[in-house]
C-alpha cells in the first residue's frame, strides 16, 4: 500500500513538472483594472514593442539624463564657501568659482563644491562655471534669504544677458567638430528607429569607447519625402543641407563591420534618401561633471509687461556633457529659465522656471528650452508657469532624446511641444497642465507634436517619433499628427486629443484617450527598469 502511494505521488510530481515546462512563465503582474498599449506592453517580464513594416517602433527614452541615468547624481564634498557682500557680487562669486576651478580633478573627475551661503547676492553681470568637475551649490531655493541662497539679477548690462552659464560656452556645430580622417560610411540599407547597431565600411579606425557623431545628411530626396517640411504645401520651406540629423554617441562594441552604440537612434537612417556616415567627435572645449544646486535666481524687471529690459535667461548649459541642475528656482527671465545648447546627457531635477516677464509673443517664454544640439536631456519633476512653451525642443533636427517626466505646467499660453524642423524622440511622460487659462494662443492647445506649417521661417514638422504618455491636459487640447516618413504617439492621455492642427496633416497614433489605468504608468521608468533591472532614481 505504501509503495502504491509513493508511486502515485511520483506520477503526480512528474505531471506537475511537465505542466510547468509547458505553461508560460508568470510575468509582470498587471494591476486589476489596468490596461496596456498595443504599441509597447509587458510580455512576461519584459517590455515588448510593436514595430511597423520597416522595423520602426517607439524608442527607449531611458538613456536621457546624466550618464544615461545609469549613475546617480553624486553628492560632491564642499571645498570652499562664501557669504554675500554689499553691492554687486559678480566678481566676488566669480573669484570663488575660479579658485575652485584651479583645484585638481580627483579620480572621479570632480574638483569639489563651492557653497554660496544663505543670503541675497546682487549680480549685475554674468557668472561662468567654466571648469569641469565643479558644483555651484546654494543652501536652498526659497524666498527667505536667512535660509536660502538668492541670486538677484540686477540691470540689463550687457543687454539680453544670461545670469549663469555652465560649460565651454560655445554652440559648436557637430557636423564641423570632427577628427579628420575618421569618417566611415554606414553601409546598412536601413537602420530603424530604436536601433543600437549598424554596419560601416571601415570599422578598423574605431575603438570601443570612442565618442562618435552619426550624420544623416539633409538631401533633396529626404526633404521631398517629407513634403518639403510642410504637409500639402507647394512651397518648399526646407532647403538641402539645412537640417542634418545628428546623434552624439559612444561605441560600446565592434564586431566585424557592425558597430553597437550606447543609445538608440531616434530617426531611421534610410540609405535610399541619404547616405549616412560617422566620425569621431573632437570634443574640443566640451566640459563635464558640472552641477548647479539649491539656488534661486530672481531677475529684476520693470514689471510684468517689461519687453526685454532685463536678463534673457537665468541658466544656460552650453558645450557641456554629463552635468546637472537640481533643486533650483528661476524667475522673471524673458526667454528661458533653463536652456541647453550643445548639451548632452543632462539631468534637470526638481527645478522650477516660473513667471517669465515680457510680452506674450514668438521667441519669448520658453521656460525649459532644449535648443540647438541638445541630446538626451531629462527634465524630471520640474515646474513651469506662465509659459508660451513650457517644455520645448527648439533646436531643429539636431535635437533628440528629450524626456519630460512627471512635470507640470501652470497657466500656459500655448503648447509644450516639439517646436520646429524635425526634432526627434521627444517624450512627455506624465506631463500635467495643472492650472489652465480660459483661452490660449493655440486654440486651447497645451501639448502637441504636429505640423507647424509656414509659421516663422517654415517650422513645418515640429517633431518625429515622439510620444505623449499618460499626460493630462486638464480639458485642453493635445494636437497629435503623423509626419510623412515618421510617427508620433499619444497614449493614455487626458484632454481633447486629436489630429486637428493649425495646418493639415494625418492624425498620429492615438490610443486610450481619457481612459484611466494605463500600465505602466510611466514609460520612462518602465524602460529604465527593463534595461537596468533597477528602479529609477536620480539621487542617493
**What phi, psi does 398 have (nearest 5°)?**
-85, -5
Confidence bin at 25 (pLDDT 50/70/90): very low
Confidence bin at 306 (pLDDT 50/70/90): confident
Q: What is the pLDDT of residues 261-279, one digit of tens each?
A: 999 999 999 999 999 999 9
Q: What is the pLDDT of residues 349-393, one digit of tens each?
A: 999 999 999 888 888 999 999 999 999 999 999 999 999 999 999
Q: Is 80 exceeded by the pLDDT of residue 442?
A: no
Confidence bin at 449 (pLDDT 50/70/90): very high
Question: Which pLDDT belongs to residue 459?
Answer: 87
**What phi, psi does 124 have (nearest 5°)?**
-95, -10
Secondary structure element (H or E) that encloses residue 94, with its range: helix 90-101
Helices and strands per DSSP (H, E), number in the chain = 4, 40
Question: Which pLDDT belongs to residue 4?
Answer: 40
Residues 6+ positions from 412 with CB-CB distance below 8 Å: 384, 386, 387, 388, 390, 433, 436, 437, 440, 446
Confidence bin at 230 (pLDDT 50/70/90): low
Confidence bin at 236 (pLDDT 50/70/90): low
Residues 6+ positions from 427 with CB-CB distance below 8 Å: 61, 64, 402, 403, 404, 405, 466, 467, 469, 523, 524
Q: Is 80 exceeded by the pLDDT of residue 1?
A: no
Q: Is 60 exceeded by the pLDDT of residue 17?
A: no
- Listing DSSP states for 336-373 in one string gives EEEEEEEEEEEEEES-EEE---S-SSTT---SEEE-TT
Confidence bin at 11 (pLDDT 50/70/90): very low
Q: What is the pLDDT of residues 318-353, one digit of tens each?
A: 999 999 999 999 999 999 999 999 999 999 999 999
When pLDDT is averaged across residues 298-308 and rounded to a whole number, the result is: 86
Please give the model's pTM, rounded to 2 decimal places: 0.93
Confidence bin at 433 (pLDDT 50/70/90): very high
Q: Is 70 exceeded by the pLDDT of residue 260?
A: yes
When pLDDT is averaged across residues 426-432 and rounded to a whole number, the result is: 98
When pLDDT is averaged across residues 161-189 and rounded to a whole number, the result is: 91
Beta strands in 406-516 (DSSP E): 408-410, 416-418, 423-429, 432-435, 445-449, 463-464, 467-469, 472-480, 489-491, 494-498, 509-511
Instruction: State the Cα–Cα distance between residues 136 and 165, nearest whole angstrom.
Output: 11
Residue-range domain boundaries for the chain: 72-172+284-359, 184-280
Q: What is the pLDDT of residues 468-502, one digit of tens each?
A: 999 999 999 999 999 999 999 999 999 999 999 99
Question: Which pLDDT belongs to residue 27?
Answer: 54
**In the numeric block, which cell numbers belong to residue 237?**
520651406
Instruction: State the Cα–Cα distance between residues 146 and 404, nearest whole angstrom.
Output: 33
Question: Which pLDDT belongs to residue 229?
Answer: 64
Question: Which pLDDT belongs to residue 458?
Answer: 82
Confidence bin at 232 (pLDDT 50/70/90): low
Q: Which CATH architecture has domain 72-172+284-359?
A: 3 Solenoid (2.160)
Question: Which residue bears the cell 524642423?
Answer: 421
Confidence bin at 419 (pLDDT 50/70/90): confident
Instruction: State the Cα–Cα distance between residues 227 and 241, nearest whole angstrom.
Output: 16
Instruction: State the Cα–Cα distance between residues 22 and 13, nearest whole angstrom.
Output: 14
C-alpha distance from residue 349 to each of 298, 368, 468, 538 (Å): 19, 12, 20, 8
Q: What is the pLDDT of residues 28-78, one digit of tens each?
A: 788 999 999 999 999 988 999 999 999 999 999 999 999 999 999 999 999
Question: Which pLDDT belongs to residue 360?
Answer: 87
Q: What is the pLDDT of residues 77-100, one digit of tens each?
A: 999 999 999 999 999 999 999 999
> How do beta strands 184-185 and 277-280 pair?
antiparallel
**In the numeric block, which cell numbers belong to residue 355?**
513667471
Confidence bin at 437 (pLDDT 50/70/90): confident
Instruction: State the Cα–Cα distance between residues 160 and 378, nearest whole angstrom.
Output: 26
Q: What is the DSSP letter of 399?
A: -
Indicate the length of the chain as a whole number: 540
Question: Which residue bears the cell 561605441?
Answer: 251
Share of the chain above pLDDT 70, in %: 93
The more confidently predicted of residues 6 and 364 is 364
Mean pLDDT computed over every residue of the chain: 92
Amino acid at each position: 500500500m505504501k509503495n502504491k502511494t509513493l508511486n502515485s505521488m511520483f506520477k503526480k510530481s512528474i505531471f506537475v513538472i511537465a505542466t510547468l515546462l509547458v505553461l508560460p512563465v508568470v510575468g509582470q503582474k498587471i494591476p486589476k483594472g489596468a490596461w496596456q498599449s498595443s504599441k509597447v506592453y509587458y510580455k512576461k517580464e519584459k517590455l515588448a514593442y510593436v514595430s511597423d513594416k520597416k522595423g520602426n517602433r517607439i524608442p527607449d527614452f531611458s538613456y536621457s539624463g546624466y550618464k544615461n541615468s545609469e549613475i546617480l547624481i553624486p553628492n560632491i564634498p564642499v571645498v570652499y564657501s562664501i557669504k554675500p557682500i554689499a553691492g554687486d557680487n559678480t566678481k566676488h562669486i566669480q573669484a570663488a568659482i575660479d579658485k575652485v576651478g584651479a583645484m585638481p580633478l580627483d579620480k572621479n573627475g570632480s574638483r569639489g563644491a563651492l557653497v554660496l551661503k544663505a543670503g541675497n547676492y546682487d549680480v549685475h553681470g554674468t557668472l561662468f562655471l567654466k571648469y569641469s568637475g565643479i558644483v555651484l551649490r546654494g543652501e536652498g531655493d526659497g524666498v527667505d534669504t536667512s535660509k536660502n541662497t538668492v541670486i538677484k539679477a540686477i540691470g540689463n548690462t550687457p543687454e539680453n544677458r544670461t545670469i549663469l552659464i555652465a560649460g565651454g560656452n560655445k554652440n559648436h556645430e557637430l557636423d564641423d567638430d570632427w577628427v579628420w580622417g575618421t569618417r566611415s560610411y554606414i553601409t546598412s540599407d536601413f537602420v530603424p528607429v530604436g536601433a543600437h547597431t549598424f554596419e560601416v565600411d571601415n570599422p578598423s579606425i574605431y575603438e570601443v569607447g570612442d565618442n562618435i557623431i552619426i550624420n544623416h545628411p539633409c538631401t533633396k530626396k529626404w526633404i521631398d519625402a517629407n513634403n518639403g517640411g510642410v504637409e500639402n504645401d507647394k512651397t518648399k520651406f526646407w532647403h538641402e543641407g539645412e537640417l542634418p540629423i545628428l546623434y552624439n554617441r559612444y561605441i560600446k562594441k565592434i564586431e566585424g563591420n557592425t558597430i553597437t552604440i550606447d543609445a538608440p537612434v531616434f530617426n531611421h537612417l534610410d540609405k535610399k534618401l541619404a547616405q549616412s556616415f560617422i566620425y569621431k567627435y573632437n570634443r574640443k572645449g566640451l566640459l563635464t561633471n558640472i552641477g548647479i544646486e539649491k539656488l534661486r535666481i530672481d531677475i529684476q524687471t520693470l514689471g510684468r509687461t517689461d519687453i526685454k529690459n532685463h536678463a534673457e535667461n537665468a541658466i544656460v548649459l552650453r558645450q557641456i556633457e554629463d552635468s546637472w541642475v537640481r533643486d533650483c528656482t528661476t524667475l522673471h527671465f524673458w526667454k528661458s529659465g533653463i536652456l541647453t545648447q550643445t548639451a548632452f546627457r543632462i539631468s534637470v531635477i526638481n527645478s522650477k522656471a516660473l513667471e517669465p516677464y515680457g510680452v506674450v509673443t514668438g521667441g519669448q517664454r520658453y521656460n525649459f528650452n532644449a535648443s540647438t544640439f541638445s541630446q538626451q536631456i531629462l527634465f524630471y519633476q520640474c515646474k513651469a508657469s506662465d509659459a508660451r512653451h513650457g517644455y520645448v525642443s527648439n533646436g531643429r533636427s539636431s535635437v533628440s532624446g528629450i524626456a519630460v517626466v512627471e512635470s507640470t505646467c501652470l497657466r500656459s499660453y500655448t503648447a509644450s511641444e516639439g517646436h520646429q524642423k524635425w526634432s526627434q524622440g521627444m517624450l512627455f511622460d506624465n506631463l500635467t497642465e495643472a492650472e489652465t487659462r480660459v483661452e490660449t494662443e493655440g486654440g486651447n492647445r497645451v501639448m502637441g507634436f504636429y505640423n507647424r506649417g509656414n509659421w516663422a521661417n517654415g517650422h513645418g514638422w515640429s517633431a518625429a517619433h515622439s510620444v505623449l504618455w499618460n499626460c493630462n491636459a486638464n480639458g485642453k487640447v493635445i494636437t497629435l499628427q503623423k509626419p510623412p516618413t515618421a510617427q508620433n504617439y499619444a497614449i493614455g492621455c487626458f484632454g481633447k486629443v486629436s489630429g486637428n492642427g493649425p495646418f493639415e496633416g494625418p492624425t498620429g497614433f492615438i490610443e486610450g484617450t481619457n481612459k484611466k489605468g494605463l500600465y505602466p504608468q510611466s514609460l520612462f521608468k518602465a524602460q529604465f527598469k527593463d534595461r537596468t533591472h533597477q528602479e529609477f532614481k536620480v539621487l542617493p
